[in-house]
Amino acid sequence: MSWRISLKVSGKIRLDSIRDAYEKYPHPQGEEIHLMTDGGCENRNDFIENYLNEPAVSIKQIIAQKDVHFSNSIVESVNKTIKYSWLYRKDIPDFNSLERYLDEVIVEYNEKRTHYAFKYLTPKEVFEGTEVDENELKERMKIARAKRIKDNQGAGCGVCPSTPLVCLLCIEYRGYRAVGSDLLEKPC
């Protein structure tokens, strides 16, 4: 919905992203929105508390594993997916390059990448209330499968030759690559 990057943890930066999302997306007047966060200092501070107490703001902050018994693992899984599917696979030379790249990645994740858990809808489609056409679902599944196969065939570890079969045999072991029974000295 909104994001920022920073070289340090900051309650003010977090407030900017919360305010941006609240103002950018329509929400029913008077209906309280729940904002689930962890208990980190970027989420629990005077900046955010003062904003949430403004009369025009109808947001209730919920601290995961304190106010509710479950965690914010859904959000953390999004972070993990973005890191492992995009960020760790690309050489990003500086902060500005990272910000530009994340602009692309966030659009890809939210608006183009379908999710099995959402019956092959994108997060944006789910947020907008798009209904799943069961007749179209099978076609979406076929398209998603074909895309996964194509993406996986083009992926490599960077150590092995680019043949996908060789790369599938490659396993990571304590920072080294093992191909078959041969341990390579070169770390990944």
What is the tens place of the pLDDT at every residue in 127-186? 889 998 888 888 878 888 888 888 777 665 555 555 444 444 444 443 444 444 444 444
What pLDDT is recorded for position 156? Answer: 58
Helix (H) or strand (E) holding 52: helix 46-52
In a domain, 95, yes or no: no
In a domain, 165, yes or no: yes
pLDDT digits over 3-40, tens only? 898 888 999 999 999 999 999 987 777 788 899 999 99
* Domain end among 44, 71, 98: 71
The whole domain housing 178 covers 157-188
What pLDDT is recorded for position 185? Answer: 42
Q: What is the dihedral of CA 132, 138, 144, 148, to 10 degrees?
A: 150
What pLDDT is recorded for position 179? Answer: 43
Number of domains in the chain: 2
What the block records as the tokens of 158 is: 């960077």
Shortest CA distance to 45 belongs to which of 13, 79, 75? 13
Q: How far is CA 107 from CA 21, 55, 57, 110, 146, in A?
A: 15, 32, 27, 5, 21
In a domain, 43, yes or no: yes
In a domain, 101, yes or no: no
